[in-house]
Amino acid sequence: MTFGGITAVKNFSFHIEPGEIVGLIGPNGAGKTTCFNMLTGFYAPSNGRVRFKGQDITNRKPHAIARLGLVRSFQKTSVMKRLTVFENVLTGHYMASRQSLLATFFPGEAVRRAEREARESAAAIVETMGLAQRMNAPAHLLSCGELRLLEVAVALAAKPSLLMLDEPAAGLNSHEAGTFGAVLKTLVGRSIDALLIVEHNMDLVMSVSDRIVVLNFGRKLVEGRPAEILENRQVAEAYLGKAAA
């Protein structure tokens, strides 16, 4: 992937197994978000292929990829600001209750049942993410941190099999990040099959990830278990700085 001469991601390969939480870290501008954008069809990679559940999804439209079960969040806070928290999450259930145009205009029992289920599920997800008190508050009234949680809730509502989160804990304080990490861990295996997380909060990444991939200047630097990464000299130099020292 290149932008007007700047190569953002080059020759990068990795894979995720079911049941796994993988952390993707790397210095600013290393290409993590770009990588997300390529995996989910927002950018078209100039080379290489993306395979998901055995299917080649390279160059597919973002919504088509989402429908296969690959759902992501965005680095820049992105929610539907004028809807309430509940409505945001309910909208997230779009895929589960898709229906034909005919059914839209002349709804039958099946449609009504799907609607009911979506509402119940939405309420449950809001609960899980700890936003129950804010259930009926319009999203624009939320503070930065709460918005991050809401984004994750919307993504979860889409019932992904692979969830990809881009800096979900940015804006949470150390304490809140800890709670959030615990929630994430319980999700894998229950609501979702696997999780790919980009995060600069080292405590969080190290505690939730089964495996960590480090990206630097658009290439893979190393890959390994959290403990191995922490010990890696290159990683310390490029990424961790004094924190490792």
Ligand X SMILES: Nc1ncnc2c1ncn2[C@@H]1O[C@H](COP(=O)(O)OP(=O)(O)OP(=O)(O)O)[C@@H](O)[C@H]1O
Interface residues with ligand X (CB under 6 A) are: 3-4, 6, 8, 26, 28-34, 75, 140-145, 171
- Asked if residue 239 binds other proteins (CB under 8 A), the reply is yes
Buried-exposed string 123-154: b where 16+ CB fall within 10 A, e elsewhere: eebbebbebeebeeeebeebeebbbbbbbbbb
- Binding mask 80-119 toward other proteins (x if CB under 8 A, else -) reads xxxx---x--xxxxxx-xxx-x--xxxx---x--xx--x-
85 interacts with, out of other proteins, Mg ion, ligand X, none, CB within 5 to 8 A per kind: none
- Bridge-partner residues for 24, per DSSP? 198, 213
Q: How far apart are CA 144 and CA 122, in angstroms?
A: 21
Closest CA to 137 of 90, 82, 94, 92: 82
> Toward other proteins, which CB reaches closer, 6 or 54?
6
> Contacting other proteins (CB under 8 A), which of 16, 35, 71, 162?
71
Binders of Mg ion in range 61-90 (CB under 5 A): 75
Piece of the chain touching other proteins by CB under 8 A; list 9-17, 78-86, 186-194, 225-233: 78-86
Buried-exposed string 93-106: b where 16+ CB fall within 10 A, e elsewhere: beeebeeeeeeeee
Neighbours of 41 (CB within 10 A): 20
Piece of the chain touching other proteins by CB under 8 A; list 44-52, 172-180, 185-193, 221-229: 172-180
